[in-house]
Structure 1
Amino acid sequence: MVPLLLALAAAAPQTVEGLWLNDDKKGLVQIAPCGTKVCGRIVKVLSRDPKAPKTDVHNPDPALRGRGFVGLPVLTGFQRSGGSWTGGRAYDPESGKSYRSTLSLNPDGSLRVTGCVLFICESRRWTRVR
């Protein structure tokens, strides 16, 4: 069993780059290089709730509240640091808040997105689509 797990771990992608389904399954985020760092943008909205906003209405900057969700940057400024990606920010369009954040791959290939305010941190699990 252990050799099989080691083989699977070796075969799993060792990068956060790719297409990810977020934890609440409301959107797909493409994580890719942006300059010398790694960033993520919403590429598809999956929520079918007719009452859900169609634009970034909760953004603290009134000038950005009219922008649509597709193309919206939700992960910015991450740099690889050992086995994780640090120094970035995660933006939550449902609240309009941005958090200090880290990204790391879980042993099962999922992505742990951790956002922090002061010393309080919370993690979400995203699933790789490709």
Structure 2
Amino acid sequence: MDVARVRVATPPAPGRLFLKRFIIAATAASIAASPASAVAPPSITGRWATDDGKAIVDIYACGAKLCGKVHKLLIKQPAGGQRDERNPDKAKRTRHVSGLQIYWDLAADGNAWKGQGYSPEDGRYYKAQLTPKGNKMSMKGCVSVFCKTVTWTKMG
């Protein structure tokens, strides 16, 4: 008759078990705290002049995120004001561009604000990334894989 040998594991010493649990707890706590301690990008709320000098855009809080609208057009406008003539939705082509919301759902993401945008100049909707640097802000808009970046200047 064969007798099987059973190996019994000895439990770790009490001090060692405490140290192991402490390290696991400390690691879990530091991982959980990492996103909360991440630095948010600087605020972009306020009034911005577009790169081409055609408009002034207001960026403002709307709920927990940020939005943007055309505050004022600085170009000569047709009688009755500039309309959203290139909008893909024909029902929206009579809207005035002044006062038109062109950014929404802007949320902090790393060193930038990301959300959605609309350009009344070409009637396209795009993914927007606004990155502030002092009194300047680079605004990157992407449709599919095609992107364009412009720089706006903070006013007053």
TM-score under structure 1 normalisation? 0.81
Q: Deviations over 1:16-48 (max 9, x none)?
A: 111001111111100001111111000111002
Which residue of the partner structure matches residue 101 of structure 2? 73
- Counterpart pick for 1:32 among 45, 57, 60: 60
- Counterpart pick for 2:129 among 102, 105, 109: 102
Which residue of the partner structure matches residue 92 of structure 1? 119
Please state whether the residue corresponding to 1:77 is helix, strand or coil: strand
Which residue of the partner structure matches residue 154 of structure 2? 128
Q: Unaligned regions of 5+ residues in structure 2, if any?
A: 1-40
Which residue of the partner structure matches residue 50 of structure 2? 22
Q: Which has the higher contact order (CA 8 A, sep 6+)?
A: 1
Please state whether the residue corresponding to 1:39 is helix, strand or coil: strand
Please state whether the residue corresponding to 1:58 is helix, strand or coil: coil
Distance 1:49 1:56 in 2: 12
Distance 2:138 2:88 in 1: 26
Distance 2:100 2:71 in 1: 8
User: Counterpart amino acid of 1:122?
Assistant: K
Query: Which protein shows a greater Rg?
Result: 2
Q: Unaligned regions of 5+ residues in structure 1, if any?
A: 1-12
User: Counterpart amino acid of 1:99?
Assistant: Y
TM-score under structure 2 normalisation? 0.68
User: Counterpart amino acid of 1:112?
Assistant: S
Compute the RMSD of aligned alpha carbons: 1.9
